[in-house]
Every structure is written in C-alpha cells, then in structure tokens.
Amino acid sequence: MTPRELKRRLDLGECVVLVDVRDAWETEIVALPGSRHIPLNELRYRAFEEIDPEDEVVLYCHGGVRSMDAALLLWELGYEHVRSLAGGIERWAVEVDPSIPRY
C-alpha cells in the first residue's frame, strides 16, 4: 500500500490497524499516530495476542523491507488482510507529511 493510499483511507475513517515493526529507538524518533509497536523480532510471539486476524493490518518500518518480512510472517500465520506500507515511514515523510523527523 502506498503512503498516499493509506493517508486517503485514514482520512476517510476506514478501520486500519497500523503496526510499527521497527526497533524501539526508531519509534522514539517518530511514529505514525495510533500505531501499535511490535518489533519484527517479537511479531511471531505477539501477533495473536495483539492483532485480530480479521482486522485489516498495515505494517510499516523505516524503508519497507522489514514490514514486507512482517507481512509474509503474518500470512504464514494465517492472517489474510495484511499489507506493507511501501517505502515505510521514510516515503510517508516524503509524500504525505514532510514535517515529521527523518533519520
């Protein structure tokens, strides 16, 4: 999912669960409002406790690589409504909100 598509859907009030799979130090710099923080290395163990398999989930990281790995992991676990934010929060900063910190 592109940052612009996610922004449009959020602006329309659509129910999307945002999951930030970055490390804690990265979330201290910047995070998308309303997102849940589940680092990629903890996702396998926390997914069923913290993410409803029926929800539409958008995963994000810094550049899109870890979130794609996270999406593949959730698909393996049986989640069907999972997408990765293309280009991560870096692309979000460029295309949607240039006021957020970049690193």
Catalytically active residues, by annotation: 61
Q: Which pair of structure tokens corresponds to residue 49?
A: 């406790």
Distance CA 12, CA 20 (A): 21
- How far is 69 from 87, CA to CA, in rounded Å? 13
Q: Which residues pair with 82 in a beta bridge?
A: 57
Amino acid in position 93: A
Tokens coding 83: 């997408």
